[in-house]
């Protein structure tokens, strides 16, 4: 690491500890001010009753997952769970502790446990791999991790100078359809890991992954700080449970 980059990275670490900004003055606003990603389609249009058609395949999958624990009740509970929450994604997005019906809560808990197993398996496939936004394993992992979440979340995958996976984490949890992120927190984590590259992603609870103006502006602000630290932003993906939008492929990064 050359002296200039080392000085910049030490400045970033000092700023985190001291509560002041030691970056170049033109970057201080981007570093210190909370930044926002938002789902521009959230809440647009009138609120209408959810109309769904139960997918028989989803019904069978849920029944098979919970059958070893709930026995003969599995098929009925699977149908109730999907009908009550409007589909498989709706059921996966629920917190079992918020469900008053004890049978539905137990079925939801088992379903989420099964999903956690799949998420862990998907994460395992990233170990030692090149981090690329067009990699199917990366996209599927992000969709499993945050695609069905009811609130926006910002996820970061850290990579080394060769682009290989180091670690990943959900770095910010939003309230409703927006999430606030501190650039200082994000880059403090990156510097501590010795990361040279980042892949950003966040979800849109609306189910539509078109970027909002907040998404575009905030991504640009984060990229400007990353450039100063000589950290590459590989891409910023907006994901749902079934779709993904690449801001780099869309020429927004």
pLDDT given at position 55: 64
For tokens 């990699």, what's the residue?
Answer: 135
The reported pTM is 0.75
pLDDT given at position 128: 87
H or E segment and range at residue 203: strand 197-203
H or E segment and range at residue 206: none
pLDDT given at position 253: 86
- Alpha-carbon span 177 to 182, nearest angstrom: 17
Q: Where are the domains of the chain?
A: 3-41+130-246, 56-121
In terms of Cβ atoms closer than 10 Å to its own Cβ (0-12, 13-18, 19+), residue 121 is exposed
- pLDDT under 50 in the chain at which residues? 12-21, 23-26, 30-32, 42-53
pLDDT given at position 169: 95
In terms of Cβ atoms closer than 10 Å to its own Cβ (0-12, 13-18, 19+), residue 148 is buried
The answer to whether residues 227 and 219 touch, using CB atoms and an 8 Å cutoff, is: no
Long-range contacts of 22-25 (CB under 8 A, 24+ apart): 23/225, 23/228, 24/228
pLDDT given at position 45: 33
pLDDT given at position 140: 92
The architecture of the domain spanning 3-41+130-246 is 3-Layer(aba) Sandwich (3.40)
Long-range contacts of 138-142 (CB under 8 A, 24+ apart): 138/199, 139/237, 139/239, 139/244, 142/201, 142/237, 142/239, 142/244
Phi first, then psi: give them for residue 164, nearest 5 degrees: -90, 150
- Alpha-carbon span 228 to 1, nearest angstrom: 14
């Amino acid at each position: 690491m050359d002296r200039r980059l080392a000085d910049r990275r030490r400045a970033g670490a000092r700023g985190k500890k001291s509560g002041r900004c030691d970056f170049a003055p033109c970057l201080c606003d981007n570093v210190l001010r909370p930044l926002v990603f938002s789902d521009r389609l959230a809440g647009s249009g009138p609120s209408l009753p959810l109309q769904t058609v139960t997918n028989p395949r989803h019904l069978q999958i849920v029944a098979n997952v919970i059958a070893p624990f709930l026995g003969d009740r599995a098929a009925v509970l699977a149908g109730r769970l999907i009908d009550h929450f409007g589909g498989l994604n709706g059921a996966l997005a629920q917190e079992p502790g918020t469900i008053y019906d004890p049978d539905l809560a137990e079925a939801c808990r088992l379903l989420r446990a099964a999903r956690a197993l799949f998420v862990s398996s998907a994460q395992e496939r990233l170990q030692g791999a090149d981090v690329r936004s067009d990699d199917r394993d990366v996209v599927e992992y992000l969709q499993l991790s945050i695609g069905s979440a009811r609130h926006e979340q910002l996820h970061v995958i850290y990579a080394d100078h060769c682009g290989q996976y180091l670690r990943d984490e959900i770095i910010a949890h939003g309230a409703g359809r927006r999430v606030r992120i501190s650039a200082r927190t994000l880059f403090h984590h990156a510097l501590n890991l010795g990361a040279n590259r980042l892949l950003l992603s966040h979800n849109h609870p609306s189910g539509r992954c078109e970027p909002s103006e907040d998404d575009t502006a905030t991504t640009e602000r984060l990229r400007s700080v990353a450039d100063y630290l000589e950290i590459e932003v590989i891409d910023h993906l907006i994901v749902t449970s079934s779709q993904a939008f690449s801001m780099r492929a869309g020429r927004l990064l």
